[in-house]
Chain A
Amino acid sequence: MGATFDYWKLTKTVLFYALVLVIVVVSVFPFYYAILTSLKSGTDLFRVTYWPTSISFENFRQVFSQGAFPRNLLNSVFVASVTVILALFLAVTASFALSRVRFRGRSLLLMTILAVSMFPQIAVLAGLFEVIRFLGIYNTPWALIFAYTIFTLPFTVWVLTTFMRDLPVEIEEAAIVDGATPWVIITQVFMPLMWPALVTTGLLAFIAAWNEFLFALTFTVSNDTRTVPVAIALLSGGSQYEIPWGIIMAASVVVTVPLVALVLVFQRKIVSGLTAGGVKG
Chain B
Amino acid sequence: MASIELRNIRKSFGAVNVIKGVDLEVRKGEFMVFVGPSGCGKSTLLRLISGLEDITSGEMLFDGKVVNALTPSKRGIAMVFQSYALYPHMTVYENMAFGLKLEKGHSKEAIRERVEKAADMLQIRQYLDRLPKQLSGGQRQRVAIGRAITRDPKVFLFDEPLSNLDAALRVQTRIEIAKLHEGMHDVTMIYVTHDQVEAMTLADRICVLRDGLVEQVGTPMELYEKPDSIFVAGFIGSPKMNFLTGEKAEAFKCTTLGVRGEHMLVKPDGIWEGEVIHTENLGADTYVYLEMGQEEPIVVRLEGAMQHPSGSKLRVSPMEDRVHRFDEAGKPIR
Contact = CB atoms under 8 A, between A and B. Distances in A.
A187 to B, nearest CB: 12
A280 B102 contact: no
B89 A274 contact: yes
Nearest to B94: A188
Given A177-B50, A178-B151, A179-B103, A278 B84 contact: yes
A242 B100 CA distance: 70
Contacts of B81: 170, 173-174, 279
B85 A274 contact: no
Contact of B84 (A177, A273, A274, A280): A280
A177 B88 contact: no
Contact of A176 (B72, B84, B164): B72
Nearest to A191: B89
Given A277-B132, A277-B134, A278-B84, A179 B77 contact: no
Given A174-B79, A174-B81, A177-B50, A276 B133 contact: yes
A170 B71 contact: no
A275 interface: yes
B134 A279 contact: no
Contact of A279 (B77, B79, B84, B151): B84
Nearest to A178: B99
B78 to A, nearest CB: 6
Contacts of A280: 82-84, 137, 164
Contacts of A275: 88
Contact of B85 (A168, A180, A188): A168
Interface string A260-281: 0000000000000111111110
Given A277-B132, A277-B135, A278-B132, A177 B87 contact: no
Interface string A161-188: 0000000101101111111100010001
B73 to A, nearest CB: 3
A123 B287 CA distance: 79
A190 to B, nearest CB: 10
A193 B88 contact: yes
Contacts of B72: 176-177, 179
Interface residues of A, number: 24
A202 to B, nearest CB: 18
A178 B137 contact: no
B200 interface: no
A192 B94 CA distance: 14
A77 interface: no
Interface string B30-53: 000000000000000000001010
Contacts, number: 86
Nearest to A278: B88
A74 interface: no
A171 B99 contact: no
A173 B52 contact: yes
A254 B198 CA distance: 68
A178 B164 contact: no
Contacts of B52: 173, 176-177
A207 interface: no
B85 A170 contact: yes
B44 to A, nearest CB: 13
A279 B161 CA distance: 12
Nearest to B165: A280
A189 B89 CA distance: 8
Among A174, A175, A188, A278, which residue has the most Cβ atoms of chain B within 10 A?
A174
A105 B72 CA distance: 28
B87 A176 contact: no
Interface in B73-121: 73, 77-79, 81-89, 98-99, 102-103
B89 A192 contact: yes
A178 B81 CA distance: 13
A276 B102 contact: no
Contacts of B133: 273, 276-278
Among B79, B103, B147, which residue has the most Cβ atoms of chain A within 10 A?
B79
B213 interface: no
Interface in B128-181: 131-135, 137, 140, 147, 151, 164
A177 B77 contact: yes
A275 B87 CA distance: 8
Given A274-B89, A277-B135, A177 B83 contact: no
Contacts of B151: 178
A179 B77 CA distance: 10
Contacts of A179: 71-73, 99, 102-103
Contacts of A168: 83, 85
A171 B83 CA distance: 9
Contacts of B140: 277
A175 B88 CA distance: 12
Contacts of B134: 277
A6 to B, nearest CB: 43
A277 B102 contact: no
B132 to A, nearest CB: 4
21 contacts: A171-B85, A174-B79, A174-B85, A177-B50, A177-B79, A177-B99, A178-B73, A178-B99, A179-B71, A179-B73, A274-B88, A276-B88, A276-B133, A277-B132, A277-B135, A278-B88, A278-B132, A279-B85, A280-B83, A280-B84, A280-B164
Interface of A: 168, 170-171, 173-180, 184, 188-189, 192-193, 273-280
Given A179-B71, A278-B84, 5 more contacts: A178-B151, A179-B73, A273-B133, A278-B132, A280-B82
Q: Which 10 A-B pairs have the closest CB atoms?
A: A277-B133, A179-B73, A278-B88, A170-B85, A277-B132, A178-B99, A279-B83, A174-B85, A192-B89, A276-B133
